Amino acid sequence: MKIGIVGFQGDVQEHFEMFTRIANMGKNVSAIIIRRENELDNVDGLVIPGGESTTIYKLIKEYNIYDKIKEKFSEGFPIMGTCAGLILLSKNTNDPRVEGMGMLDSEILRNGYGRQGESFIDLINIKGIGEVPGVFIRAPVIKDTGTTEVLAYYKNQPVMIYSRYALGMTFHPELTEDTRIHEMFMKMVEGEGYISTGEGIGVMTK
């Protein structure tokens, strides 16, 4: 399995190192950094990292990656977005500078948890995984989850959502040593769909 990481800005290396850690655990996965449109044809899934959503958006549009990602997603290409990546995956970003891709039927408020100085780390209970450390850095708020399935809340606020081939979260799993969220995404990549069991993340279908 080969996972691409959009590589213009943000926590690119941290995601790369997370998949490297999983590979060192004996799992069949490798990661490459994506900066060109044609490189998307060489990966099985994609991560859009946390960072500055306006900068990432500007560069993926400039390098013709934005439309290519949407095209591949329509064909069943799995994508995970963390923090800024979630903003880009959402239908409504509430930011005229960033046109959401609409892969998650969600409405987002940028920096909803506050500025850099109000960043924090706390445990989050995720369906199908259990407690994981959540790193919130200028994190967006999910104002409306739409038709997505909520996989985790923090103080009654949704912080992780899912919809078939798209997985998004307001926090940064790549800034911890816990590999379970990245492994969850790998299970999405291995499957071709999702059936909710009502208990945990669900069952991947072939």
pLDDT beyond 60 at 59? yes
Query: Which is the catalytic residue, given 172, 177, 183, 190?
Result: 172
172 is catalytic: yes
Query: pLDDT digits over 143-171, tens only?
Result: 999 999 999 999 999 999 999 899 999 99
Terminal C-alpha separation, the chain: 16
- Assign 168 to helix, strand or coil: strand
Q: What is the DSSP letter of 170?
A: S
Q: Residue 82 and residue 48: Cα distance in Å, rounded? A: 7
Q: Residue 17 and residue 30: Cα distance in Å, rounded? A: 10
pTM: 0.88
Query: Which is the catalytic residue, given 39, 174, 177, 192?
Result: 174
pLDDT of residue 40: 96
Query: pLDDT digits over 174-198, tens only?
Result: 999 999 999 999 999 998 444 343 3
Among 172, 156, 187, 68, smallest CA distance to 121 is for 172
Other CB atoms closer than 10 Å to residue 46's CB: what's the count?
A: 23
Fold of 2-204: Rossmann fold (3.40.50)
What string of DSSP letters covers 140-162? Answer: -EEEE-TTPEEEEEETTEEEEEE
Query: pLDDT digits over 98-118, tens only?
Result: 999 999 999 998 765 555 546
pLDDT beyond 70 at 202? no
83 is catalytic: yes
14 is catalytic: no
Query: Which is the catalytic residue, given 52, 71, 83, 190?
Result: 83
pLDDT beyond 60 at 88? yes
Residue 204 near residue 188, CB atoms below 8 Å: yes
pLDDT of residue 118: 60
Mean pLDDT over 40-60 rounds to 95
